[in-house]
Structure 1
Amino acid sequence: MNDEAPGNHPTATATEYRDPEQHVGGGADGLALLLAQWLPGQRWFAHKGEALTAVTIESRTPIGQFDSREVEQVLFTVPSPGGPQLYQLWVGWAQHHPERFAHVLIGEVDGLFAFDALHDADVSGAVLQNIADGVSLGDIDFVPEPGATIDTSVGGLVIGAEQSNTSIVYGSSSILKVFRRLEPGLNPDAEVHRALQAAGSSHIAPALGVIEGPVAGERTTLALLTGFFANSAEGWAMATASVRDLMAEGDLRADEVGGDFAAESLRLGRAIAEVHQDLARAFGTAELDADQVAELIGSMVASAEAVGAHVPSIGELLPEIRTAFSRADRASGGVRVQRIHGDLQLGQTLRTLTGWAIIDFEGEPSKPLAVRRAMHSPLRDIAGMLRSFDYAANHSGGASDSQHAYRAQEWAARNRSAFCDGYAAVSGEDPRDMGSLLAAFELDKAIYEVAYEHGHRPSWEPIPLQAVVRLINTGGQK
């Protein structure tokens, strides 16, 4: 978190920009060695916890000087099985050990101390001012959205909830998401926010500005500034609180408990349907024929087989999993595809004072940008939300007896049904009518979850595994 109180912040103006060949701070070799040691401990780093063999500094762009601290944007690559991955880091350099930033200290190079500069209130304040002013620092452009009103009177505070990026909240007015891992081109989070804003969607925060810079010769989104939903509640927190209320009420049913969530699930289903409709109007739609559906299901089977090769619980179920996917493979053509959220779950939703808002349209960060910007079936989003209800129901812990399991299943079923009811009321299409195909998307998601939990949280593996068993046994029936 940020240690500095909000106040007036100096602005890194274009006149402070220096020749990029004359970088600030310590030498590149020393910085690369430091990053190799520091990165595995960062929650936004895709390979956290793994030993790094090498870090390659690709570019260094001076941003400005703040008292005795100099700041630069550093782009670097790390090796991965799929090829080098590019990351962005804003590095601050101090001549003396920066006690205020000890919690984000990277290390010492050539007698200078490097730290994560996004946690410096002077830097985050200057970034906000630069977006409002439309400043360019060398090849980096700070661009306000047309007509945007940006309040620059408040200080920035890094929040700790982000997994793959870093977000800075400015009071109750705006939030800046700095993308850590970069791919050349327009980030779908910025692209979709702009499209939904143009469509008049009431379920998003307004886009206020972006930071852009060159990556591999292409203008690339480095950060996105949007409005901030103050006094909102995260959907995941609300759902799990509802489950805890249910489990604390003895033998009452889910619809008899004060914290019943089904009405909110219904509203959330309506909101997602409205977002899907706006996305369809903004980006258009297409249809998959029978061969393309077969190709889609084939990719799901291949993914399951890859997981089964190293996760025993899935390997044992592969024959039944193939059979379950084959039911969807027999679906006829005419499956509509369009732009979707791409990583929809309760944690990507906020209950505001006026309704449900959807955030983080970046898609799954581990997927290539081309995949995240492609058209997909809306059922993929719906399946993600249905899986999220299942997780919420089984997340409360406590006694693991049959009564607890039954009540968790009852809560999940009630809220899954309410969500689909809400979606159908707006879209005119009940997702449950696409039973085998919806089940395939759910099964694909659940298998991915099993693989993730197997590698990161083994004690959680039974949650998605029981969904895999349910889906291969029910065949996607309503």
Structure 2
Amino acid sequence: MPESSSPRTVHARLPQLSAPHGSALLRSLTGPLARWLPRQRWFAGKGRPLSSLSLVAATELLSCSGSGPGPGLLHLLVRARHGGARDTTPDDCYQLLLGVRPVLPPALSPALVGRPTEGPLRGRAVYEALHDNRLATLMLERLRAPGRHGTLSFGRAPGTAIPSGLSARMLTGEQSNSSVVYGEEHILKLFRRVSPGVNPDLELPLALAEAGCARVPAPAAWFEASFPGAAAPEPDAEPLTLGVLVPYLAGSADGWQLALASLTQRTDFSGAARSLGRATAEVHTALATALPTDRLGRPELEEAAAAMTERLTDAAAAVPALRPYQSGLRRTYRALADYAARGGECPVQRLHGDLHLGQVLRTAEGEGWSLIDFEGEPARPLTDRRRPGPPVRDIAGMLRSFDYAACQHGTGGSWAESWSRANRAAYCRGYAETSGRDPLDQLELLRAYETDKAVYEVLYEARHRPHWLHVPMTAIRRLAAATVTAD
């Protein structure tokens, strides 16, 4: 392993590290990090003041105290607290990989975090390490060698080939995580906001690989954090999943790009949508085989309908444009409760959790669809994302994505609406062909979950992208006016 160094680790249980070494390190970094963190795309606390930082763990993967020009590599878990004393929002724990150099090369200047004026890193340039090919390559070498390095534990799938010496490039435009591509062979997803528990983006692809499902790239390696030797470890504490290395599907295009190309060129996309429905059903079937399942009966479905109604009320209070449609949307939720009262049920199992056209890839050779990014909605707590749910929730997410593509593309008019309707129907048809269950046969379920998704989208767009609010509002008008009871 090139540039290896025995890691020096400061151990701690969550929520913070209290050793003098850790306190001095954090003091030296607090100012630079407080300015740098809120500017990152993956920082979840935007709009809330950052009131304090505390150090959960620090591991020196490559010595940061050398006098030479070479870089050091520091792995940190940092807890961020927002707001004042009355702010009850849970703290966030972030994973940071920081490079340390006496002098920062000009090419790395955009990655600068800051130059501490005190503490063990005084006078040195601290920067985002993943932009440094040398340090990003070191992370690949760590993943090639399973074992423990202080609080960090590296694992590797048996029989997996991970070449050494691959060049690294960090992808741009990441929202909730960071990704590094190694050559054309592998891609490392580094989770930024982390919490105890196995991340579904590791757990579910491993289960699918064991079940023989080829629709999802199987993890080649991963790394986690645990805290052996902490002064007061939590009982039954779970590790934190920090990153997953998977095969890189070179030459593939995501479903969103392909859908927009179809809209631009006015070509038929229904064959692709139908095969995507089949791929989704294959993954759902494999997950139901590999992991526990259950069913929701009347009490659970009535509770789900009540929760959807409450979310609608809250969203309408925040977004005035939603208020005229509340009556029609509540009718959809009442139909779900009536379905439950008639003895209707719903299967629940592990899901993708955030399925849309941007989460599916098709290779250049057109060999079919692959599903990626099983993390679920990053804003939701990890325990929620690991909870079984109705498969119809994934289906509703994909149906909404077809609508998003048609509306966001800007073509407008009846042709784009027909494109969306045709592909939504084709997707459901493909799902039924593989699973034996047509989502349209339980229209009350599908309509309720699609409406709940659209209400969430209205609130999200109003808060973050007001210029996109018209996209979910188009669906809201349609759903509010629709007949919700199956014939």
Q: Structure 2-normalised TM-score?
A: 0.88
Report the Cα distance in structure 2 between the residues aligned to 1:283 and 1:16, rounded to whole angstroms. 37
Report the Cα distance in structure 2 between the residues aligned to 1:228 and 1:366, rounded to whole angstroms. 26
Match of 1:12 in 2: 4
Question: Does the CA-based 8 Å contact 1:267-1:422 persist in structure 2?
Answer: yes
Match of 1:5 in 2: none
Measured after TM superposition, the shift of residue 342 of structure 1 is: 0.2
- Listed as ranges, the matches of 1:221-370 within 5 Å are 221-246=241-266, 259-332=267-340, 333-352=344-363, 353=365, 354-370=367-383
Match of 1:373 in 2: 386
Q: Deviations over 1:173-214 (max 9, x none)?
A: 111111000010111110001000011111111210111112
Distance 1:218 1:284, change over 3 A: closer
Report the Cα distance in structure 2 between the residues aligned to 1:292 and 1:121, rounded to whole angstroms. 51
Report the Cα distance in structure 1 between the residues aligned to 2:251 and 2:175, rounded to whole angstroms. 22
Give, as a single letter, the amino acid of the residue that structure 2 aligns with 1:150: I
SS in 2 for 1:190: helix
Report the Cα distance in structure 1 between the residues aligned to 2:238 and 2:258, rounded to whole angstroms. 41
Measured after TM superposition, the shift of residue 363 of structure 1 is: 0.6
Give, as a single letter, the amino acid of the residue that structure 1 aligns with 2:59: T
Measured after TM superposition, the shift of residue 275 of structure 1 is: 0.3
Question: Does the CA-based 8 Å contact 1:32-1:57 persist in structure 2?
Answer: no
Q: Give ranges in structure 2 of 5+ residues lacking alignment.
A: 12-18, 83-87, 118-122, 228-233
SS in 2 for 1:222: strand
Report the Cα distance in structure 2 between the residues aligned to 1:475 and 1:366, rounded to whole angstroms. 32
Percent of aligned positions that are identical: 38
Report the Cα distance in structure 2 between the residues aligned to 1:446 and 1:317, rounded to whole angstroms. 12
Report the Cα distance in structure 1 between the residues aligned to 2:164 and 2:254, rounded to whole angstroms. 26
- Listed as ranges, the matches of 1:2-81 within 5 Å are 10-13=2-5, 15-17=6-8, 27-48=25-46, 50-65=48-63, 68-80=70-82, 81=88
**Aligned to 2:180, which of 157, 161, 168?**
168
Q: Give ranges in structure 1 of 5+ residues lacking alignment.
A: 1-8, 247-258, 399-403
Question: Does the CA-based 8 Å contact 1:142-1:212 persist in structure 2?
Answer: yes
SS in 1 for 2:220: strand
Measured after TM superposition, the shift of residue 347 of structure 1 is: 0.2
Q: Does 1:132 align with 2:144?
A: yes
Question: Does the CA-based 8 Å contact 2:23-2:55 persist in structure 1?
Answer: no
Q: Which moved more, 1:61-70 or 1:272-281?
A: 61-70
Question: Does the CA-based 8 Å contact 2:71-2:100 persist in structure 1?
Answer: yes
SS in 2 for 1:71: strand
Give, as a single letter, the amino acid of the residue that structure 2 aligns with 1:40: P
Give, as a single letter, the amino acid of the residue that structure 2 aligns with 1:290: R
Question: Does the CA-based 8 Å contact 2:153-2:226 persist in structure 1?
Answer: no
Report the Cα distance in structure 2 between the residues aligned to 1:315 and 1:12, rounded to whole angstroms. 60
SS in 1 for 2:52: coil
Measured after TM superposition, the shift of residue 47 of structure 1 is: 2.6
SS in 2 for 1:153: coil
Question: Does the CA-based 8 Å contact 2:57-2:151 persist in structure 1?
Answer: no
SS in 2 for 1:207: coil
Measured after TM superposition, the shift of residue 96 of structure 1 is: 2.1
Q: Deviations over 1:219-254 (max 9, x none)?
A: 1211011111111111100001111112xxxxxxxx
Measured after TM superposition, the shift of residue 16 of structure 1 is: 4.8
SS in 2 for 1:242: helix
Distance 1:367 1:18, change over 3 A: closer
Measured after TM superposition, the shift of residue 397 of structure 1 is: 2.1
Report the Cα distance in structure 2 between the residues aligned to 1:469 and 1:35, rounded to whole angstroms. 44
Distance 1:18 1:369, change over 3 A: closer
Report the Cα distance in structure 2 between the residues aligned to 1:165 and 1:102, rounded to whole angstroms. 21
Question: Does the CA-based 8 Å contact 1:287-1:335 persist in structure 2?
Answer: yes
Question: Does the CA-based 8 Å contact 1:98-1:113 persist in structure 2?
Answer: no
Question: Does the CA-based 8 Å contact 1:184-1:219 persist in structure 2?
Answer: yes
Question: Does the CA-based 8 Å contact 2:7-2:59 persist in structure 1?
Answer: no
Report the Cα distance in structure 1 between the residues aligned to 2:74 and 2:21, rounded to whole angstroms. 8
Match of 1:85 in 2: 92
